[in-house]
Structure 1
Amino acid sequence: MNSHNELASHCDAGQQGFTTEDILWATGIWSVILTLSPVIVFYMLLVA
């Protein structure tokens, strides 16, 4: 029951706007994706 309340409050906070934690998560994930994408493409070209 407690986890459901936390989830609901997090969703309500997310609708008001981006929090600093959301921005940090997004930048971290995108930096990993953009860093690994050339490696993945190079690997695919090597294998193909």
Structure 2
Amino acid sequence: MNNHNEMASHYDAGQQSFTTEDILWAVGIWSVILTLSPVIVFYMLMVA
């Protein structure tokens, strides 16, 4: 619920640029995805 309110406040302020927090979120999520993807592929190959 809080995340939706933050998004609404960002749009209300007319802020179009990325904030440092947004960049950190994106980097964190992509780092997790890129770290886990080889593990998932290896697991699929071992199971198949």
Normalising TM by the smaller chain, what interval? Answer: 0.7 to 0.9
What is the count of residue pairs matched by the alignment?
46
Q: Structure 1, unaligned stretches of length 5 or more?
A: none
Question: What is the RMSD computed on CA atoms of the aligned residues?
Answer: 2.5
Match of 1:16, SS state, is coil
TM-score, length-normalised on structure 2?
A: 0.75
Note the residue ranges of structure 2 that are not aligned, 5 or more in a row.
none
TM-score (norm 1): 0.75
- The sequence identity of aligned pairs, in percent, is 87
Q: Which has the higher helix share?
A: 1
